Amino acid sequence: MEITLESPLDMHLHLREGAMLRQVAPLSARHFAGAVVMPNLTPPVDSLERLRAYRAAIMEAVAPFTFTPWMTLFFRPYPTATLAAARDEIIGVKLYPEGVTTNSAGGVRDLEAVEDTLAAMERLGIPLLVHGETHGFVLDREAEFLPIYARWAKRFPRLTIVMEHITTAAALELLERFPNLAATVTVHHLLTTLDDVAGGLLQPHLFCKPIPKRPEDRAALQAAALRAHPRLMFGSDSAPHPRERKEAAACAAGVFSAPVALALLAGLFARHDALANLQAFVSDNARRVYGVTPPARRVRLARRPWQAPERYGDVVPFYAGQTLEWQVTDVEP
């Protein structure tokens, strides 16, 4: 069994900087024609100058692959003129509530105080990407954030709001209520639950924010992805950390899935007899939601078992050392 995908896209990706960027970026660029690049560096990407330098470093790291890094600015209460100047160089602005995840210390403290900026983004047609978690009990953080999404979706009906890495059935229900909401979902949230992370021996390489939830949440996410819900996009949230930051007393959040994501998705869709919907889920939905055109690149996968590497440099991937049913067999550079 085989499938050829036209320009697969990863609509939520952490590439880091320096040696880590050079290590992980080619692994994404090999399988994906483009990706939405997250701005949670230290310090965050919050100026056009920094964004341009980061984009240039990414382009250098992905060569010779043809790969579009769609850049995001880290949310600040930017003046309208700053947003207007940035508009043609960004795909959106990423909002992190303060302190909810890796490198979000500079995030938003007062979610009531962002509305002027959201109004300007709506006028300028700049999408808002959101890490939607509160500071509540860890399993309830996404659910507690849903009313905030609803309020913004209602108040700014022409603002495209992307609920990043959704993990609950409740988030999918909200997606149905507002046409200006879209969402990304990761491959690890499609495949794991909290049991995989903490039900047996603790699995640091599966630990991420938001934490994977209940089996019924995963089932709802799978159902929506497998039918390629038109406003649901694949976003890996692949988030590499060096092994010593994961296998540690204070384990960093993040699953490094970039090199295995497409193969795992093909396996999931094939098992559910839904391969015909994979193109929409990994590319076409994103093109429509964001109005972007990726570079034309075909990526072929086949049902041929392979063993995922134990490491890429000092980063341990999702499914390290395990056998995957499907593999990427051919890529156009």
Q: What positions carry a catalytic annotation?
A: 237
Q: Is 108 in the site for ligand DOR (CB under 6 A)?
A: no
Assess contact for 15 and 58: CB atoms under 8 A: yes
DSSP string, 195-242: HHHHTSS--GGG--SSPP--HHHHHHHHHHHHTT-TTEEE---B----
Assess contact for 45 and 74: CB atoms under 8 A: yes
Task: Tell me how far apart the alpha carbons of residues 149 and 33 are, in angstroms, rounded to a whole number.
Answer: 30
DSSP string, 127-155: -EEE----SS-TTTHHHHHHHHHHHHHHH
Q: Is 188 in the site for ligand DOR (CB under 6 A)?
A: no
C-beta closer to Zn ion: residue 75 or 326: 75
Q: Which does residue 102 touch among Zn ion, ligand DOR, none (CB within 5 to 8 A, set by kind)?
A: ligand DOR
Query: 3-class SS at 94?
Result: strand
C-beta closer to Zn ion: residue 189 or 297: 189
Among 7, 23, 28, 40, binds ligand DOR (CB under 6 A): 40
Site string for ligand DOR, 230-259 (x = CB under 6 A): ---------x-------------xx-----
Task: Tell me how far apart the alpha carbons of residues 299 and 28 are, in angstroms, rounded to a whole number.
Answer: 12
Sheet of 323-331: strands edge to edge?
Answer: 2-6, 298-307, 323-331
* Number of residues this chain uses to bind ligand DOR (CB under 6 A): 11
Select the span of 80-88, 95-103, 180-188, 258-266 touching ligand DOR (CB under 6 A): 95-103
Q: What is the smallest separation between the CB atom of 205 and ligand DOR, expressed in angstroms?
A: 11
Q: Is 132 in the site for ligand DOR (CB under 6 A)?
A: no
Question: Which residue's Cβ has the minimum distance to Zn ion?
Answer: 237
Under rule CB under 6 A, which residues in 202-231 are in contact with ligand DOR? 208-209
The contact set with ligand DOR (CB under 6 A) reads: 14, 40, 101-103, 131, 208-209, 239, 253-254
